[in-house]
Amino acid sequence: MAKWRRLRAIKRYVCQNNAAIWYEKDLLEGSVAPDMTLPVHIDIHDTEGTLRWLRSFRESWMYNEKEIDVGSKEGHYYANAKLDGRIIGYTKIGIGRVYLYDFGTCLALPGHASFLYHVYVDKEFRKNSIAQNLIIAVIADLVPKGYRKMACHIAKWNTPSIRLFESLGFRRIADVQFHGFFKMLKIWTYRMSRDGKLKIALRMPNILC
């Protein structure tokens, strides 16, 4: 396992490629949390508990030091779902600045915007509306604080996540491809849904408004 992690790290250093669909949700449209079929407790303030749980997975996409460092400074949400006191899922939602692991860069969000990094539920507990309730619980805390939008990006192959976010009212706003070489040269190509024009940038394009 350690050998494969080292090989993946080398590959990411030499060449990075990522293709994602960017989505945006209007938080003022409202969202109704579906009933959960298990007695799950959603806790949006147990940051330490969520981070300990994420660290145990030893997966960089779940627990990334740069991402956590930015999140701790900006006050990001690390909400979790507990069943009988045990964490079985989480969502990670950023405000202010976010570190995008897939693109190896930080993005400054507009003051009214938030960013949904991930939502994850253990396989044995999926299809119980836990993911939806995690996201909606954080939205309920964001709206009174003046947040009006939530963005996210999803890999094109991740059909289950696409279905989940679209069911919550997220709308496709852009298709973005990233190419990085030796962590020095970074190129983005992107197409905004509103005009369909293909554009090229040497820094993370500002596609949120």
Task: Enumerate the domain spans of the chain.
Answer: 23-173
Type of residue found at 170:
F
For 23-173, CATH gives 3.40.630.30
| Per-residue tokens: 76 | 């990001």
Separation CA 156–CA 17 (nearest Å): 13
| Contacts for 70 with CB less than 8 Å, ≥ 6 apart | 76, 94, 97, 98, 99, 106
Instruction: Tell me which residue of 119, 153, 123 sits closest to 136, measured CA to CA.
Output: 119
- Alpha-carbon distance of 38 to 49, in angstroms, equals 21
Residue type, 196: G
* Alpha-carbon dihedral angle through residues 22, 71, 137, 125, given to the nearest 10 degrees: 80
Asked if residue 42 lies in contact with residue 133, where contact means CB atoms within 8 angstroms, the answer is yes
The pLDDT of residue 65: 92
Q: What does the alpha-carbon distance between residue 115 and residue 181 come to, in Å, rounded to a whole number?
A: 26
3-state DSSP call for residue 6? helix
Residues 6 or more apart in contact with residue 31 via CB below 8 angstroms:
135, 136, 139, 168, 169
> Which pLDDT tens digits describe the chain residue by residue (209 residues)?
565 556 555 555 556 777 889 999 999 997 888 999 999 999 999 999 999 999 998 787 889 999 999 999 999 999 999 999 999 999 999 999 999 887 778 889 999 999 999 999 999 999 999 999 999 999 999 999 999 999 999 988 999 999 999 999 999 999 887 777 666 667 767 788 878 787 877 666 777 65
Note the Cα 64 to chain centre separation in Å: 13
- For residue 192 the two structure tokens come to 């905004």
Give the C-alpha separation, 199 to 195, whole Å: 11
